[in-house]
């Protein structure tokens, strides 16, 4: 019997990559400080087609009452102060497993009559990976591409996110808006957002240098402040939307593995009515077009797994960075997220319906989540007809 710290570097602990055919994780992964890092480490330990047997239980009030007095029982508390039990649903685990390289995640449970299942088993298979490939990619490390301006809120949020990603053991690649394309560091480039060729060149560098990117965060043109009379809406829209369009086109033309997941971050782009979970003013015109473009990408190119994050954190770049990091660290199946740091925000609940509903318990900050129903309907229709529209 050997001790294993699943949250830390396994090679430094003396473990060998691809050395197990089956790993059983019984009621322990939910307690990990970083579930994503733990899953990456488990996959690093598994051989080709190795199996993970994950035994967990869904969120339940009884467990929250028994263990909720312990601060570590709640996840995301340090990031957005919205208490969520560390226990997860089957679907949340399936999303996390898929995001971290596992396939064919099949749930098993034996509910008694009229009693919901208290425990479930998920069996997931490690996607094909040779020991050589595992040796190239250090355990507990993912590739992040962070796009930002040279200064302002966008740069401040990017600085925070890059710092936290490096502290988590990842290796982010920074892309800054400028006039010309230039390589400013091993993991840094400057490009012209209005130039499509610069994005092709960027992806070529990542491909040639074997820098695997799984997440792309678009912050260029982001401002946490409302528009003023001096705001040039066309310039901001070009910076926000042209960057996303050129990037999406380059990703769709690229050959090879599944494209990275695309995160589009806005501030005040989505309006929620007074009956919704967040009581906010009208949307900020300069930010709203990117939110609409994101929904188009969800419909036209679901392979990009586009996610929308709308922030309400005026003048608080570090707080906005915390919100973004909370989503990157623990992504789930939701495609649209609204986060507010206002004092009068309502505590919100997640919903898959078009309408956002509220819980009525004041809390700071609040989070609203909702799926994009149009995207789901479009994907279902395309699946039936075999059509795949192209974004151009």
Residue 67 has pLDDT above 80, yes or no: no
CA of residue 152 relative to chain centroid, distance: 23
CATH code assigned at 24? 3.40.50.150
Average pLDDT, stretch 352-367? 32
Domain end marker among 136, 168, 192: 136
- Considering the chain, what is the average pLDDT of its residues? 75
Q: How many CB atoms lie within 10 A of CB 348?
A: 27
Q: Predicted confidence band at 134 (pLDDT cuts at 50, 70, 90)? A: very low
Do 62 and 199 belong together in one domain?
Answer: no
| Claim to verify: residue 239 and residue 185 sit in the same structural domain | yes
Confirm whether 320 is domain-assigned: yes
Q: Taking the model in full, what pTM does it have?
A: 0.58
The mean pLDDT value for 91-98 works out to 79
For residue 225, what pLDDT is reported?
Answer: 81
User: 65 with 180, same domain?
Assistant: no
Looking at the fold, whether 162 and 186 belong to one and the same domain comes out as: yes
Residue 113 is predicted with a pLDDT of 58
Whether 36 is covered by a domain: the verdict is: yes
Q: Which of 70-74, 313-317, 339-343, 365-369 is predicted with the least confidence, judged by mean pLDDT?
A: 365-369
38 belongs to a structural domain: yes
pLDDT of residue 139: 42
What is the structure's pLDDT at 366?
38
Shared-domain flag, residues 323 and 340:
yes
Q: Give the range among 83-92, 191-200, 279-288, 352-361 with minimum mean pLDDT.
A: 352-361
Pairing of strands 336-340, 261-267: unpaired
When divided into structural domains, the chain yields a total of 2
**Pair (22, 86) in one structural domain:** yes
In this structure, are 201 and 94 located in the same domain?
Answer: no
Residues 210-213: contacts with CB under 8 Å, at least 24 apart: 210/136, 211/143, 211/171, 211/173, 211/187, 212/137, 212/143, 213/143, 213/144, 213/145, 213/173, 213/260
Residue 163 domain flag: yes
Using one digit for the tens of pLDDT, what is the confidence trace for 201-225? 999 998 888 888 889 999 998 988 8
Asked if residue 114 and residue 33 are part of one domain, the reply reads yes
pLDDT in the model for residue 282 = 62
Please identify, among 136, 157, 190, the residue that sits at the C-terminal boundary of a domain: 136
Confidence of residue 114 (pLDDT cuts 50, 70, 90): low
User: What is the Cα–Cα distance from 187 to 210, expressed in whole angstroms?
Assistant: 12
216 plus 78 within the same structural domain: no
The interaxial angle of helices 317-329 and 152-167, nearest 10 deg, is 40
Q: Which of 110-114, 228-232, 324-328, 366-370 has the lowest mean pLDDT?
A: 366-370
Assigned domain for 391 exists: no
- pLDDT of 236 higher than 50: yes
75 within a domain of the structure (yes/no) = yes
- Asked if 167 and 214 sit in the same domain, the reply is yes
**16-20, 22-26, 316-320, 346-350: the lowest-pLDDT one:** 346-350
Is the per-residue pLDDT at 281 higher than 70?
Answer: no
Range of 42's domain? 11-136
In a domain, 112, yes or no: yes
Residues 254 and 113 both lie in one domain: no
pLDDT at 142: 63
Domain of 167: which CATH number? 3.40.50.720
Do 132 and 197 fall into the same domain?
no
**Position 251 in a domain:** yes
């Amino acid at each position: 019997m050997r001790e294993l710290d699943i949250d830390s570097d396994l090679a430094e602990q003396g473990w060998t990559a691809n050395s197990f055919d089956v790993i059983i994780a019984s009621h322990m992964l939910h307690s990990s400080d970083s579930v994503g890092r733990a899953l990456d480490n488990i996959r690093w330990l598994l051989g080709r087609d190795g199996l993970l047997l994950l035994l967990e239980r869904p969120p339940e009030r009884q467990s929250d009452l028994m263990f909720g007095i312990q601060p570590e029982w709640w996840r995301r508390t340090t990031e957005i102060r919205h208490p969520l039990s560390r226990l997860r649903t089957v679907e949340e685990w399936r999303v996390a497993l898929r995001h971290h390289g596992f396939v064919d995640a099949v749930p098993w449970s034996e509910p008694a009559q009229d009693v919901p299942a208290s425990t479930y088993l998920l069996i997931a298979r490690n996607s094909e990976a040779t020991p050589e490939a595992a040796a190239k990619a250090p355990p507990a490390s993912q590739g992040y591409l962070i796009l930002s301006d040279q200064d302002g809120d966008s740069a401040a949020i990017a600085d925070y996110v890059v710092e936290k990603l490096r502290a988590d053991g990842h290796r982010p690649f920074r892309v800054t808006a400028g006039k010309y394309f230039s390589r400013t560091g091993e993991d840094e480039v400057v490009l012209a957002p209005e130039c499509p060729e610069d994005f092709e060149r960027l992806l070529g560098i990542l491909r040639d240098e074997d820098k695997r990117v799984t997440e792309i965060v678009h912050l260029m043109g982001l401002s946490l402040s409302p528009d003023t009379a001096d705001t040039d809406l066309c310039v901001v829209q070009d910076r926000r939307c042209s960057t996303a369009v050129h990037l999406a086109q380059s990703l769709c033309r690229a050959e090879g593995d599944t494209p990275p997941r695309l995160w589009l971050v806005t501030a005040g782009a989505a309006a929620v009515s007074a009956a919704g979970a967040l009581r906010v003013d009208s949307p900020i015109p300069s930010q709203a077009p990117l939110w609409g473009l994101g929904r188009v990408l969800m419909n036209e190119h679901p392979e990009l797994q586009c996610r929308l994050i709308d922030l309400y954190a005026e003048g608080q770049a570090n707080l906005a960075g915390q919100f973004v990091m909370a989503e990157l660290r623990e992504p789930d199946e939701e495609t649209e997220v609204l986060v507010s740091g206002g004092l009068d925000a309502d505590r919100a609940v997640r919903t898959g319906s078009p309408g956002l509903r509220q819980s009525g318990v004041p809390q700071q900050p609040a989070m609203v989540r909702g799926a994009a129903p149009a995207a789901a309907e479009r994907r279902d229709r395309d699946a039936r007809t075999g059509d795949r529209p192209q974004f151009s």
